[in-house]
């Protein structure tokens, strides 16, 4: 959940570190800090608030110097949002400095042990406990250098961590380690960068390697050594970063969320490229080709996700049952992992995640895999932990997503789950002609999204009339019930308006009591099998004074008699409709947040990738 950037080399590193930190601010922005080794001593500057606050404080104190350093943006877990709780943290005796992403679950017992040893704590964080523990174990006179002290400390730790450590007694050495929280090392010419995301290093190097769980790397300008926490040497695989600098720049847009909404047509074209063969009526998914027989024999598909990814998984449940005729269920990953789930023979578990690092989803996938399920991934970030843990998978190919509120990743996830469902359906019962018909419709989605985006000004105008209302409903049926959930989530997470999504038919079973005069109710009322029933639900809300905003199919004139405002989307087979109907909902949420004066890309209390429970 936090942003980590560190550097060791021959350059003055303050500005380099701050540049990387700005690219990672979407991962946490409660507080920010930087540390370097300057004139043989650790120099730390940190403050509550955004990276801009840290820049102001650095200017006040004359900056920091050094060719080795680290910086951090925090998303608070243990301890409130205060200057003492901000990272980096130092120990009280050995010149240790540390930044950390994750949670040390046994920090309380370790803290008691260290207090008995005489250590004095300045913060409420679990991270300071780890810094103190490394300092307690650090003893160069006894052969325990910084690398060995970090290894020894991590053997005592329970929890998740991505850490970088330095020590003023070893002024040219960084030590980094990882379990659960992602960490990568960018490899340059006589220099190395460590970061929790490739976007922080791509402007300086195109070569990098990811640390695996329980691995430690020691970095100096002369080279690196990688081992396990038990000091067993390992050889990392250095790879080319697949991030283009342009894709993580804002360009002409006001916010990353806006940029990512508007680049969805291009992103989906990338998702489909080389995967759709309408001539032969088939889907080409190289990542699944080796497991085609196992997939064909599948009796049950479990789709695992959290938040937006769960909503995509719920649409995947409909797709699997409709297009592939296989029993499917979408599950909250956080609940699945703590049940005693029944995994029968020929079960397939599909993890859905933008980052590929979501802690609950990863743990749920591992649980299903351990019980014999075939583990697949629908993931955006190449080389992520989940991508490495799965038996096979399909990448989204939508490019880096910086906005905390997911947009293009959601549409990409639904698109890939559609491809997987067709891939499976073709092998089970679909004829080539049936498959080709669905694929031809699927190919039209990018252009149809583009047509919806051309109505942005109208969507903004309608949204402006409702932004003072603090309670909204989002309702849909069938494929677009999960879309309603996603629309409500988007609105609440960036505009801070309370919104509920639910099946339209469920409204009568209690929630209709919430309807009062002028309450906005957003209905997804595209043409489909349950269209007339949705119209009935609209009438029930309207009769009680609710204001109806409908997302409807182009050419539908009937809807105007019932709705106060209508956003039209092009006609498309119902199974493919969520990729269109969600677009007006994304734009509504975006405009509501901007009109209410909120930071769209960095909503309060949220961070992009949830790598802790």
DSSP character string of 285-329: -TTTGGGHHHHHT-SEEEEEE-THHHHHHHHHHHHIIIII--EEE
The answer to whether residue 369 is catalytic is no
Give the span between the Cα atoms of 3 and 365, in whole angstroms. Answer: 25
3-state secondary structure (DSSP) of residue 440: helix
CA of residue 489 relative to chain centroid, distance: 14
* Residue 93 is a catalytic residue: no
Q: Tell me how far apart the alpha carbons of residues 528 and 5 are, in angstroms, rounded to a whole number.
A: 49
Q: Which of 2, 97, 267, 435 is catalytic?
A: 2
CB 30 within 8 A of CB 74: yes
- Reading the block at residue 351, the tokens are 């993890």
> DSSP strand E in 23-146: where?
31-38, 41-48, 68-74, 89-90, 96-104
Of the candidates 111, 179, 218, 608, the residue annotated as catalytic is: 608
Q: Do residues 73 and 48 touch, judged by C-beta distance below 8 A? A: no
Before 88, cis peptide (omega within 30)? yes
| All residues at 6 or more sequence positions from 574 whose CB lies less than 8 Å from its CB, including other chains | 478, 479, 526, 527, 528, 529
Q: Count helices and strands (H / E) in the chain.
A: 19, 26
In whole angstroms, how far apart are CA 343 and each of 313, 365, 569? 18, 12, 40
What is the pairing mode between strands 41-48 and 520-525? unpaired
List the end-to-end C-alpha distance of the chain, in Å, as a whole number. Answer: 10
Please name the helix (run of DSSP H) or strand (run of DSSP E) that holds residue 52, with its range, or none.
helix 51-61
Say how many C-beta atoms besides its own lie within 10 A of residue 145's C-beta. Answer: 17
DSSP β-ladder status, 498-503 and 471-476: parallel
What's the burial of 521, exposed, middle or buried (CB within 10 Å: 0-12/13-18/19+)? buried
Q: At what angle do helices 432-443 and 408-428 cross, to 10 degrees?
A: 170
- Give, in order, the Cα–Cα distances in Å from 471 to each of 299, 378, 501, 519, 596: 41, 33, 11, 7, 15
DSSP β-ladder status, 184-187 and 170-179: unpaired
Q: Which of the residues are catalytic?
A: 2, 608
């Amino acid at each position: 959940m936090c942003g980590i950037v560190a550097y060791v080399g021959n350059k003055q590193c303050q500005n380099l570190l701050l540049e990387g930190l700005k690219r990672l601010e979407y991962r946490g922005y409660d507080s920010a800090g930087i540390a370097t080794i300057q004139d043989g001593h650790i120099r730390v500057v940190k403050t509550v608030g955004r990276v801009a606050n840290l820049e102001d404080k650095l200017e006040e104190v004359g900056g920091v110097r050094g060719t080795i350093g680290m910086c951090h943006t925090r998303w608070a877990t243990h301890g409130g949002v205060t200057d003492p709780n901000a990272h980096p943290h130092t120990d009280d005796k050995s010149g240790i400095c540390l930044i950390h992403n994750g949670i040390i679950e046994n920090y309380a017992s370790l803290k008691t042990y260290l207090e008995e040893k005489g250590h004095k704590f300045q913060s409420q964080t679990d991270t300071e406990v780890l810094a103190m523990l490394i300092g307690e174990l650090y003893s160069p006179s006894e052969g325990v250098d910084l690398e060995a002290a970090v290894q020894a400390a991590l053997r005592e730790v329970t929890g998740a961590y991505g850490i970088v450590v330095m020590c003023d007694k070893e002024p040219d050495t960084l030590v980094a380690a990882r379990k659960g929280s992602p960490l990568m090392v960018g490899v340059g010419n006589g220099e190395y960068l460590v970061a929790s995301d490739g976007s922080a290093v791509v402007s300086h190097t195109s070569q990098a390697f990811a640390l695996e769980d329980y691995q430690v790397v020691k970095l100096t300008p002369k080279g690196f050594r990688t081992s396990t926490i038990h000091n067993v040497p390992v050889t990392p695989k250095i790879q080319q970063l697949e991030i283009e600098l342009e894709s993580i720049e804002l360009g002409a847009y006001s916010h990353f969320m806006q940029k990512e909404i508007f680049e969805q047509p291009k992103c989906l074209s990338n998702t489909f490229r080389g995967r759709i063969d309408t001539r032969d009526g088939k889907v080409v998914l190289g990542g699944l080709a080796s497991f085609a027989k196992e997939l064909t024999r599948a009796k049950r598909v479990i789709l695992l996700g959290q938040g937006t990814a769960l909503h995509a998984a719920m649409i995947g449940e409909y797709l699997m049952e409709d297009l592939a005729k296989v029993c499917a269920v979408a599950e909250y990953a956080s609940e699945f992992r703590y049940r005693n789930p029944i995994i029968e023979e020929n079960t397939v578990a599909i993890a859905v995640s933008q980052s590929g690092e979501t802690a609950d989803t990863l743990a749920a996938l591992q649980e299903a895999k351990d019980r014999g399920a075939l583990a697949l991934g629908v993931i955006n970030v190449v080389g992520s932990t989940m991508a490495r843990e799965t038996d096979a998978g399909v990448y989204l190919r939508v490019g880096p997503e910086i906005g905390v509120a997911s947009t293009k990743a959601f549409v990409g996830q639904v698109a890939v789950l559609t491809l997987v469902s067709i891939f499976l359906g073709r092998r089970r019962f679909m004829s080539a002609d049936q498959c080709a018909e669905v694929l031809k419709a699927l190919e039209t989605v990018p252009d149809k999204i583009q047509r919806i985006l051309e109505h942005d000004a109208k969507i903004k105008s309608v949204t402006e009339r409702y932004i003072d209302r603090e309670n909204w409903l989002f309702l849909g049926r069938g494929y677009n019930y999960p879309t309603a959930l996603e629309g409500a989530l988007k609105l609440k997470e960036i505009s801070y308006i309370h919104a509920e999504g639910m099946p339209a038919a469920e409204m009568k079973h209690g929630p209709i009591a919430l309807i009062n005069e002028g309450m906005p109710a957003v209905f997804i009322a595209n043409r489909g099998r349950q269209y007339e029933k949705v119209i009935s639900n609209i009438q029930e809300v309207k009769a009680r004074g609710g204001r109806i905003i409908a997302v409807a199919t182009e050419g539908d004139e009937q809807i105007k008699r019932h709705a106060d405002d209508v956003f039209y989307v092009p006609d498309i087979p119902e199974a493919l409709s969520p990729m269109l109907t969600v677009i007006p909902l994304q734009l509504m949420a975006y405009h509501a947040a901007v009109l209410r004066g909120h930071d769209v890309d960095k909503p309060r209390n949220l961070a992009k990738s949830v790598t802790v429970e």
